[in-house]
Chain A
């Protein structure tokens, strides 16, 4: 079983967002594997442990991605591909074209990816890649079972569970609740330093990397100042709260 994992590096969830000249500043920011992609890495490793094969991570992004890729290698992935050519970054349309182009040159049975990245929250790239590759897509998996070429996935749909089946090859996106990602072991970290990280050039048409959307402006939400802290006995405070919600805020 050859498994590809789409891996993106994102800001640590604890980071505050700071703007500098209208752009999001990366100064002093801690980076992590996108938490949803981490579920994808873990699931790939579990499937490999059961069925054998290889796990390859695939990323499109700047050089700094290497630290997160090494983490995935330390968790147990076998090898990694990083496309760090800035002219290929673009939007979801271009990113999907570039990644699909690279995937077409790999051998794979299964592609796993986080169902959304916690930075731009766009949630488009996996679906687009499945479409370009012409393979089935299954989103928000909370359980994956593979039996020969049969695949059964339990997917989360607003808290309900949908059980779907298909056949390999397939692209599946991972949702919280699927697994508990492992921590890299110390020997794993040592080994990861020597695992192959390819940085291939991608030969792709101009048209495929022309972005279809443009960000005009990035801004921060207005700062909230603390509101009204109620006073007195809990009973009176609660009564006052209900009145305020009813008459002042008019939300109940």
Chain B
């Protein structure tokens, strides 16, 4: 039986986030020939509607109101629930991004339904959607189901492969107007200070280059950015490097920081404390460079170089530049 699946499409810096296409791929697994609808807030963009259609959306709800141009938890929650009422989905999927993490539990509480967050996979077994999610930052995993209809889940970026765009597909665009309640407007955004524009976002990056105490200084981290730029990678850091103020806490990878699952994780001057490993051990390929051959990071690395990272880095930059050219 076909299922109706509703997914959230998220824009960042003038582009639809990759995770929006990944949730469409996840929706396809559930839909089983049923209908897939995307939600776009505050953006009347035919280009986005077409992109969503090519990746599997049959319908795109475009909800327009000036209040939706900037994310505010309760405003988005109310607009989202409007679409849920219209579409009556059997399942709802949202990317596990800062916006997704923030609003999904609010929507679930308002609808009085369960929610399974931060999933890295899903499969349909005997008409049940079984979600897989890490616990203890990836030191263990659980398989989980939800009893409610709609089933509601968030999907971690970079784990479910997006499908190739099918240029022959199109979608019905449904424009909705919306106005938030007075309550929803109790939180106002005054200002946004962009600091993270440098480079690629950690949670969605295919390649992450992380530095630890071995990087020794803020200037050392600048060299990591050089490699990151050639590879289109994001820069991360260990807790030690953040505590020593070589890097900002927003870059910290680990059990008390970000948990990342890129295709390639390059750990430079990181010893591999259990808390750090919890945050990155599920990366597909791990490279470690460390002077200490006994460093625990080598036990989980696919490729290791025992040596000084500052000797490795310039050669790496040259080799990568040669490759790119």
For residue A123, which residues in chain B have a CB less than 8 angstroms away from its CB?
Answer: 101, 105, 117-118
The stretch that binds A, out of B36-44, B162-170, B218-226, B256-264, is B256-264
Render B273-286 as a binary contact track against A, CB cut-off 8 A, 1 for contact.
Answer: 01100100110111
The proximity string for B residues 173-205 relative to A, scoring 1 for CB distances below 8 Å and 0 otherwise, is 000000000010011111111111100011100
B73 neighbours in A (Cβ, 8 Å):
127, 136-139
> B residues within 8 A CB of A234?
305, 307-308, 311-312, 315
- In chain A, positions 70-119 with a C-beta closer than 8 Å to chain B are 91-93, 96, 118-119
Contact yes or no, A252 B264, CB < 8 A = yes
Task: Tell me whether A218 and B142 are in contact (CB under 8 A).
Answer: yes
- Residues on A with C-beta less than 8 A from B229 are none
Bound state CA distance, A35 and B285, in angstroms? Answer: 29
Contact check, A251 vs B263: say whether CB atoms are below 8 A apart.
yes
A7 CB to closest chain B CB (Å) equals: 16
User: Is there an interface contact between A24 and B74, defined as CB atoms closer than 8 Å?
Assistant: no
A244 in the interface (beta carbon within 8 A): yes
Listed in ascending order, the chain B residues whose CB lies under 8 Å from chain A are 73-74, 77, 97-98, 101-106, 108-110, 112-118, 130, 133-148, 183, 186-197, 201-203, 206-207, 231, 248-252, 255-257, 259, 263-264, 274-275, 278, 281-282, 284-287, 293, 298-308, 311-312, 315-316, 319-320, 323
A-B contact count (CB 8 A): 256
Do A212 and B147 touch across chains, with their CB atoms under 8 A apart?
A: yes
A154 to chain B, nearest CB (A): 8
A186 at interface, CB cutoff 8 A: no
Q: List 6 A-B contacts (CB under 8 A).
A: A92-B115, A130-B106, A137-B106, A176-B256, A234-B311, A245-B285
Residues of chain A within 8 A of B191, CB atoms compared: 162-163
**B contact face: mostly helix, strand, loop, or mixed:** mixed
Bound-state Cα–Cα, A55 to B301, Å? 45
| Nearest-CB residue, chain B, relative to A218 | B142
Q: Are B281 and A14 in touch, CB under 8 angstroms?
A: no
What are the interface flags for A208-228 relative to B under an 8 Å C-beta threshold, 1 for contact and 0 otherwise? 000111111111110010111
Kindly state whether residue A161 has any CB partner on chain B within 8 Å: yes
The reply to whether A238 and B316 form a contact with Cβ atoms under 8 Å apart is yes
Give B51 Cβ to nearest chain A Cβ, in Å.
Answer: 22
Whether, in the assembled complex, A158 has its beta carbon less than 8 Å from a beta carbon of chain B, the answer is: yes
Q: Which of A139, A160, A252 has the most CB of B within 10 A?
A: A252
In the complex, what residues of B have CB within 8 A of residue A216's CB? Answer: 130, 142-145
Contacting A229 at CB < 8 Å: which of B77, B104, B298, B312?
Answer: B298
Q: A16-B274, A221-B281 given as contacts; is B196 within 8 A of A159 (CB)?
A: yes
Q: What's the least CB distance linking B96 to chain A, in Å?
A: 9
B303-A221 in contact (CB<8A): no
* Residues of chain A with a CB closer than 8 A to B143's CB: 215-217, 219
Q: Which residues of B contact A24 (CB under 8 A)?
A: 136, 140
| Cβ of A62 under 8 Å from chain B | no
| Chain A residues within 8 Å of B, Cβ to Cβ | 11, 13-14, 16-17, 19, 24, 35-36, 91-93, 96, 118-128, 130-132, 134, 136-140, 152, 156-167, 176-177, 211-221, 224, 226-230, 234-235, 237-239, 241-242, 244-246, 249, 251-252
Given that A17-B140, A161-B195, A177-B249 are contacting pairs, would A213 and B118 also be in contact in the complex, using a CB cutoff of 8 Å?
Answer: no
A14-B275, A234-B311 known; A226 vs B298 contact (CB < 8 Å): yes
Contact present for B188 and A128 (CB under 8 Å): no
Residues of B within 8 A of A230 (CB): 303-305
Q: A124-B104, A124-B105 are in contact. List 4 more A-B contacts (CB 8 A).
A: A156-B250, A158-B98, A163-B193, A217-B143
Identify the closest chain A residue to B301 (Cβ): A227
A229-B116 CB under 8 A given contacts A159-B195, A238-B319, A242-B323: no
Candidates B77, B114, B302; contact of A228 at CB < 8 Å: B302
- Whether A167 pairs with B186 at a CB distance below 8 angstroms is yes
Please tell me if the beta carbons of A218 and B141 are within 8 angstroms of each other in the complex. Answer: yes
Q: Are B302 and A229 in contact (CB under 8 A)?
A: no
Given contacts A226-B299, A241-B303, A251-B285, contact A134 B183 (CB under 8 A): yes
How far is B281's CA from A91's CA once the two chains are assembled, in angstroms? 27
Quote the shortest CB–CB distance from B55 to chain A (angstroms): 23
CA A138 to CA B282, docked complex, whole Å = 30
**Are A245 and B304 interface neighbours, CB within 8 A?**
no
Chain B residues in 8 Å Cβ range of A152? 190
Query: CA separation between A200 and B169, bound complex, in Å?
Result: 58
On whether the beta carbons of A237 and B250 are closer than 8 Å, the reply is no
Residue of B nearest to A219 (CB): B141
Q: How far is the CA of A222 from the CA of B288 in the complex (A)?
A: 19
Complex: A228 Cα to B293 Cα, angstroms: 13
A158–B202 CB distance below 8 A: yes
CB closest chain-A residue, reference B250: A159
How far is it, in angstroms, between the C-alpha of A125 and the C-alpha of B105 when the chains are bound? 8
B117 touches A251 (CB 8 A): no
Find the A residue at minimum CB distance from B118. A121
